[in-house]
Structure 1
Amino acid sequence: MDHIFTISKKPSRTLNPYKQNIFNKLEKSILCAVSSRNVISFSTESNIEECNSLYWSSNVYVADLNNPWQVHKVLGNSSPVTVLQWDFTGDLLLVADESGCVKMYRAKDNILNDWVLISQTLLQGEHILAAAFFHSGKKICLNSDKKDSPSYIDKFQHVKFACSVKQFGGRPANGALLLTTTGMLAAVLLPQATSQSPMIVATESLGPTRIFVKTADICYGKNGHFLIAVSSGDPAMPIQCYKVSVKKEDEKCTIKSQSLLSFFLFGAPKEAMMDQLRKEKNCTVSHIKWIMREDADSLVVTASSQKMSCLQVWELREKAVPVHKSLMGNSETPQFYNTVLWQYQCHFQYNNKVTSLATSKLSLLNNISNGYVVVTFADNSIHCLYRDTLKQIAYTTLSVVPRYLDEPNSKYQKVSTNIASIDMSWLGNVLLCVDSDDSLHLFKLPPQIESSAPLSVPYCTTILEYCLMSGFDWLDFLLVLRPGMLDAICDRLTESFNRQPPSVQQFFYVQYLCIKTSLYRLSFQGLSKANDLTQYLMLHSISTAFKSLLRPSEMNSHEKSPADSLASVIAEGQSDVDKALTLMHLEAKEFTVETTTLQSLQQLIQWVADLALNLLVKFSDSRPAAGKAYELLRDVKALNMLREMLVLIRIWGLLRPACLPVFIKSDTNLDVLALVFKLLSRLVQNVNEPDDALIDECCLLPSQVQIQLLQPSNNRPVLASPHLAQQILPLQLEFNNEPECLASNSDSNAGQTVDSIRHLYLGKTPRVIKQCVRCGSSAGMVQATRTAAIRAWDQRWLRSCQCGGLWRMQVFSA
């Protein structure tokens, strides 16, 4: 469990008096949660931006895990925050407090530092204790019987799982289930995005009578119901379980709660241990967690006092009970009846008080409880335990070094710092901690499935393939990889992907390129390959967008579409672009596009031509003798795609000459498009051993035409970079202050700012742009020419950057 970083706020010379007085009362108000998109949210008891403030406040912040020092304040709450919860997609953030206020936030236009309130509900006089978003019914697991299968379809299975609430047509509803300390349930149903109907709120009692609940946890049943385990905090009282169903009927919502079996902690066979704990003063049931979030039948419960703690695992099992002889009648054969009972499984004991508890969020293997229980104690020790046996896998201690120790004569007041809350990433690779001093800490965790062995290449490939199929973000997995295994993982992932059927490859191709690019970015040797893959991803996207504008003629009797006919002509190896046009024999209608649309795409057309020129110029340096390999130049598929785009641009230039790329030439009669197409066609014929005449012609290109260099990514300071492996961990970081140790040596901010999506120049210091939080690419916020084609292009990158990272709005002062 390596400690990756610690992020602290600026040291303050004044101590907030509320910290010592009410921290014990409000220990639940310091929380943290990690979304499926690896966006972290955490609540603090002070304002990070105003370190010297003497006023208490409960604030919620969000940040991307790749640069967690760049935090954004979502809200400042007057009541202590008691629940922080993300939905399955990572889009919605639920914030609830002890005054009964429930708020749901969404990032406006997918901008990470701009959040809007989409719903608000007030449960007057209720202290909200737990919450869970409705399940969407989608669940993908690794098939343990076919985990070595080369096919993704066989290797990963869609598990039958019912959604929590169904709408018209069986679609899953969006909303959340809430539980308060008085035993009240509340269901909040959000309206559909296209609907004007109001939000629906329903309430119901958890049991026949209202009960006091101190700690609780909610999980999902496979039939669409919820399972809730609650405790009053008294270890002498039973741990009660309930089955809760939420249904939507017309414009109303109903909640049904059914009591299930309960059990007593003191019913465990370890009587000596429990007797000792029973004698302790102030012994309470402090935490309850379902072992699995989906279809769980096991609970881990903590009973702790100031001096000692005990974790117990209880499992719901079916047991055959013999029938008494007096009830068997005349039958002489033994008879049994099956019943369901809670059975004690194992325990873990420690001589300190439990402060927080977390379990794995995903079960990668279906119906198999693989994963961990991570527990922290008052001495700041962190224990990683097996979920089923509670045997210790890893152990570490959070050593908090106060910032003021560097100044021997300082007047800083020292306070004790304890871990307040922890949460695991969805893939279970890292553990996020927030302490009582509002600092963040990140730790590596052992592999989820192969915990007894170090990371292996087959295991890493399987996890990345799971992310490819399920759509989960893989950033937390990048933080635990060793640099020496990156090439082997990339090779194995490529080999595995190429064995998939064409339909599977086509569907997951963009995501596959994003994963490979992120892997290459983790090493200095792979940065050139990452840049090539980024350019190829953009070329692939432009090709898809351009071909989608082609429409087959109504009178055309050919079976091939215009795009297929274009590809077949390119495959013939014609090196003359004008002869390629005559060989196509297609009707003009099939390639006719409105002139306004063509003009709006001019910047994309210009980028394609610039890419072709840049590749040919670099070709002379890419020979094996030079020792440099440009992967894009060796990719015949990419070169043919580029040739297709040049032919298409040639055709569109006849319809709208103004849409053609602009070149600064030494000879006004030089046809640059024809020359580039000819050179690319000769290159495709033999990419590994080109003739010397082709190399000489490529060397002459800079003297014939001015070549606009393509600007690489910004390479802004991020965790998932080759610099992390060179640092001494843990990194000591500060909120809203970029670390110099992770910064690139090259000044990528010099010169003009280029829109990485529309490929326009935004100026040297544009006032407002949006930047990717991972690769640092920039994009303009001002709307461009609004044709249907350019709107579709912008929508392609609205949710995230081409690397998969989220956008962050950047405002520069004049």
Structure 2
Amino acid sequence: MWPRHVHERFLEILLNGSEVISLFSIECCGPPGSRLLSADGDGQIKCWGMTEHLVNSWECTQSSSLDGDPIIALSWLHNGVKLALHVEKSGSTNFGEKFSRVKFSPSLTLFGGKPMEGWLAVTVSGLVTVSLLKPNGTLLTASESLCRLRGRVALADIAFTSGGNIVVAATDGSSSSPVQFYKVCVSVVNEKCRIDTELLPSLFMRCTTDPVRRDKYPAVTHLKFLTRENSEQVLLCASSQMGSIVECWSLRKEGLPVNNIFQHRSPVVGEKQPMILKWRILSATNDLERVSAVALPKLPISISNTDLKVASDTKFFPGLGLALAFHDGKIQILHRLSLHTMGVFYGSSGSSQRVGEEPAIKRQRAGGPTLHFKALQFSWTSLALVGVDNQGKLHMIRVSPSMGQMLDMNTLLRHLLFLLEYFFFLTILWFFCLSWLAVKVLSTRIVAVKASLCKLSSATAARACDFHAKLLLVAISSTLKSLLRPHVLNTPDKSPGDRLSEICTKNNDTDIDKVMINLKTEEFVLDGPPLQSLQQLIQWVEDFVLYLLANLPNQVSSTWRPLPAVIVAVCCPVSSWYPAWTSCPSTMVS
């Protein structure tokens, strides 16, 4: 079994306008999502833990404070565990060939090489702070300036190197200013935390050197390393009120040029040409709409040219695309190195369009502010996007494994099986992989999330009761549908209960006897004894539905009370075979 594995969870969103959330989980033998880091605009950093291992109950276990200094970047220290995904070995039966461990040093180690837990944060004033969790439960905290001349930092991101160092990228928000990079080394000396910083090569965005675009994009709005464990590739986005441009840069070693006088000198045996590190631009987009959010893939696919060629040859596209959300509500999937468009999603209409196709209907802009995403994150499989819009609503969008490319169904299923093996191997939540195939897998999970969020406020406690009642109805519906079994053992694509629900949904007749006449009874076999044992449960469901319907006039006449979600769920043609809640998230690219 692998050692304790720390993952940054797929949500890293802005909360209440000032709070940054970074969730991680220890993926060894315990349940995922066991700890939570939060930081706010007042400089308060808190570490939360589950109460009695309950995901709906959290308590603050540790905290640190930088009073009045807002936190703009936050990350857990790396624990030294990194896995590589070998796409070309997807057909192998040896899991050691499919998924291998990469040599990677922790950010800080205890006696015996055990990684030390802790977190690192960057503030607006250019301060980096590190908090270390000692085995006895105490907290070691230290702060240091990123450089001698401290200045305002508008954006920052954190990455890690294989040697155990930390790299911080920072910018003051102006595209005419350089993007600075700093190496941060953390150590413990005499029971005190010590931070050493070193300035690394910086870069200027190429759009500022273009005479046409020099003043077109004055602000840097997004700064992200392409992966958490690769500090040599960074994504930058400069914007204005009219549009944005995205650039991808890479740090490379280059030979130091020498004067012509020394070039003709005979080299000494064993002498090497001096090398320097220099940022080189890999690709850039054309003028885009104004970007509101950026999401990067999390699959551990190496981003060297060789590995990308293998992924392209095997047509394994998950993990190769990044997502850009725009202020007009649109989302684009771009190749994370070439920045070529792979797919487009139109949030306003809920339809998707392949690259090169013309839209069937010209979309007109509606009056008022357009619904767009303020924060966007990929799931671990890159088959789902989770975003928060400008109205505070949470959305989940499923992404096709083909990323807009033409692939046959067998190839798609083979890639999904490979991803499912990977997540079973790491014991990560599996339903992110199946979200593209079965939408209903996520429906109850989303209801549970809504119930947990509503419990956080006393004003929405009634809604939490509604969602818990809905989960109960879903469980009862699944139990009743499971009583039906197919007449033959050849299992069809849908279960008898699902086929019966589909028939009842399509039939608008309110007379249940007429609906039953049109059913082919030979397709459905009902187990009598289990149904008889559930007689009291069926009677309870009938009483519950009748109570809700009888209480509906009181709810509608009361203007100050919201309509319960359970009443909305059951105010449809009532049938014991109907799922209590069915919804289909939008499809990104088909």
Shift in alpha-carbon separation, 1:245–1:277, aligned structure 2, 3 A: same
DSSP 3-state at the match of 1:209: coil
For residues 611-760 of structure 1, what are the structure 2 equivalents within 5 Å? Answer: 627-628=488-489, 737=565, 740=569, 746=576
Return the offset for 1:204: 0.9
- Of 109, 114, 121, which residue of structure 2 is paired with 1:171? 114
Greater strand proportion: 2
Does structure 1 retain, via aligned residues, the 8 Å contact 2:157–2:170? Answer: yes
Q: Which residue number corresponds to residue 122 of structure 1?
A: 65
Distance 1:132 1:106, change over 3 A: same
CA contact (8 A) 2:329 2:370 kept: no
Q: Distance in 2 between matches of 1:152 and 1:122?
A: 44
Q: Is the 8 A contact 1:81 1:95 kept in 2?
A: no
Structure 2 Cα separation of the partners of residues 743 and 440 of structure 1: 28
Tell me the secondary structure at the aligned position of residue 203 of structure 2: coil
Q: d(CA) in 2 for partners of 1:37 and 1:165?
A: 18
- Asked whether the equivalents of residues 238 and 262 of structure 1 are also in contact (C-alpha less than 8 Å), the reply is yes
Structure 1 residue 235: Cα displacement: 1.1
How far apart are residue 461 of structure 1 and its match?
Answer: 1.1
Counterpart CA distance in 2 for 1:448 and 1:243 is 38
Per-residue deviation, 1:740: 3.7
SS in 1 for 2:182: strand
Spell out, residue by residue over 1:494-550, the C-alpha distance to the aligned partner (whole angstroms, 9 max, x if none): xxxxxxxxxxxxxxxxxxxxxxxxxxxxxxxxx89x98xxxxxxxxxxxxxxxxxxx
Structure 1 counterpart of 2:139: 199
Is 2:339 aligned against 1:390? Answer: yes
What is aligned with 1:106?
49
Select 1:84's aligned residue among 11, 21, 25.
21
SS of the residue corresponding to residue 193 of structure 2 reads: strand
CA distance in 2, matches of 1:250, 1:126: 28
Q: Would you say the 8 A contact 1:36–1:472 is kept in 2? A: no
Q: What code does the residue aligned with 2:425 have?
A: M
Distance in 2, matches of 1:335 and 1:225, equals 26
User: Are 1:438 and 2:374 matched, yes or no?
Assistant: no
Q: 1:747 offset after TM fit, Å?
A: 7.5
2-structure distance, mates of 1:473, 1:167: 30
* CA deviation string 1:71-118 (max 9, x = no partner): xxxxxxxxx424211124332222211111112222222322211111
> What does the per-residue CA deviation read over 1:702-752, in whole Å, with 9 as the maximum and x for residues that have no partner?
9xxxx989x99xxxxxxxxxxxxxxxxxxxxx9994684999964899xxx
TM-aligned CA distance change 1:383 to 1:191, over 3 Å: same
Secondary structure in structure 2 of the residue aligned to 1:330: coil
SS in 1 for 2:415: helix
- Counterpart check, 1:345 vs 2:345: no
The corresponding residue for 1:356 is 293
CA contact (8 A) 1:353 1:377 kept: yes
RMSD (CA atoms): 4.2
In the TM superposition, residue 126 of structure 1 has moved relative to its aligned partner by 0.6
Greater share of helix: 1
Query: 1:277 aligned to 2:213?
Result: yes
Contact kept? 1:38, 1:473, Cα under 8 Å: no
Partner secondary structure for residue 202 of structure 2 = coil
The answer on 1:224 being equivalent to 2:164 is yes
Partners of 1:735 and 1:236 in 2: how far apart?
53
Q: Which of 239, 252, 277 matches 2:192? A: 252
* 1:350-399 CA distance string (max 9 Å, x none): 34322111211232358646522211222222111110000011112222
- Name the CA distance, whole Å, in 1 between partners of 2:168 and 2:113: 24
Instruction: Identify the residue that residue 178 of structure 2 maps to in structure 1.
Output: 238
Q: Which amino acid aligns with 2:428?
A: F
Aligned to 1:466: 422
| 1:39–1:181 Cα change, 3 Å | closer
1:283-340 deviation line (CA, Å, top 9, x unaligned): 2011111111112311110111111211001111122345333124632899854332
Match of 2:348 in 1: 399
Shift in Å, 1:481: 1.8
How much identity, in percent, do the aligned residues show? 25
Contact 2:245/2:287 (CA < 8 Å) preserved in 1? Answer: yes
**1:428–1:448 CA contact under 8 A, matched in 2:** no
Shift of 1:148: 2.8
In the TM superposition, residue 276 of structure 1 has moved relative to its aligned partner by: 3.0
SS in 1 for 2:324: strand
Aligned partner letter, 1:384: I
Name the SS of the counterpart of 1:261 in structure 2.
strand
Deviation at 1:452, TM superposition (A): 5.8
Where does residue 321 of structure 2 map in the other structure? 372
Larger Rg: 1
Partner of 1:301: 236
What is the CA–CA distance in structure 1 between the aligned matches of 2:563 and 2:66, rounded to whole Å? 34
Which residue of 1 is the match for residue 372 of structure 2? Answer: 418
Change (3 A) 1:414 1:266: closer
Partner-residue secondary structure (3-state), 2:407: coil
Alpha-carbon separation, structure 2, partners of 1:86 and 1:39: 8
What is the CA distance between 1:232 and its match in structure 2?
A: 0.8
CA deviations on 1:129-186 (whole Å, 9 max, x unpaired) are: 0011112222222234533321112221111111222123221222210000111001
TM-score by length of 2: 0.65
CA distance 1:337–1:169, change in 2 (3 Å): closer
Query: 1:187: Cα distance to partner?
Result: 0.7
- Give TM-score, length-normalised by structure 1: 0.48
Among 123, 134, 145, the residue aligned to 2:77: 134
Q: Could you tell me how far 1:219 is from its partner in structure 2?
A: 1.4
Give the corresponding residue for 1:427. 381
Q: Which amino acid aligns with 1:297?
A: E
* Alignment-mate amino acid for residue 171 of structure 1: K
- Structure 2 unaligned spans of 5+: 1-5, 27-32, 309-318, 351-366, 440-477, 492-526, 538-561, 580-590
Q: Distance in 2 between matches of 1:316 and 1:463?
A: 30
Is structure 2 residue 94 aligned with structure 1 residue 159? no
CA distance in 1, matches of 2:10, 2:171: 31
The letter of the residue matching 1:445 is V
Contact 1:141 1:366 in 2 (8 A): no
**Closer/same/farther in 2, CA of residues 332 and 205 from structure 1, 3 Å limit:** closer
Residue 253 of structure 2 is matched in structure 1 by 318
Question: SS of the residue aligned with 1:286?
Answer: strand
- Residues 1:479 and 2:422 aligned together: no
- Worse overlay, 104-113 or 739-748: 739-748
Structure 1 position 343, deviation (Å): 0.6
Using the alignment, how far apart are the partners of 2:431 and 2:564 within structure 1?
21
**Judging changes above 3 Å, is the alpha-carbon distance between structure 1 residues 214 and 431 closer, same or farther for their aligned structure 2 residues?**
same
- Secondary structure in structure 2 of the residue aligned to 1:154: helix
Q: Which has the higher contact order (CA 8 A, sep 6+)?
A: 1
Q: Secondary structure at the match of 1:465?
A: helix
C-alpha spacing 1:290/1:453, structure 2 compared with 1 (3 Å): farther
Query: What residue is the counterpart of 1:143 in the other structure?
Result: 86
Residue of structure 2 in register with 1:95 after alignment: 38
Structure 1 residues not aligned, in runs of 5+: 1-34, 45-57, 59-79, 402-412, 484-526, 532-617, 631-698, 713-733, 750-814
Tell me if structure 1 keeps the 8 A contact 2:11–2:22: no
Q: Is the 8 A contact 1:38 1:475 kept in 2?
A: no
Letter in 1 for 2:287: Y
Contact 1:37 1:472 in 2 (8 A): no
Report the alpha carbon displacement of residue 229 of structure 1 after superposing the two structures with TM.
1.0
The answer to whether the 8 Å contact 2:11/2:21 transfers is no
Question: Any idea what the Cα deviations from partners look like across 1:14-46, whole Å, max 9, x if unmatched?
Answer: xxxxxxxxxxxxxxxxxxxxx9697857555xx
8 Å CA contact retained: 1:187, 1:202: yes
Alpha-carbon shift at residue 416 of structure 1 (Å)? 5.0
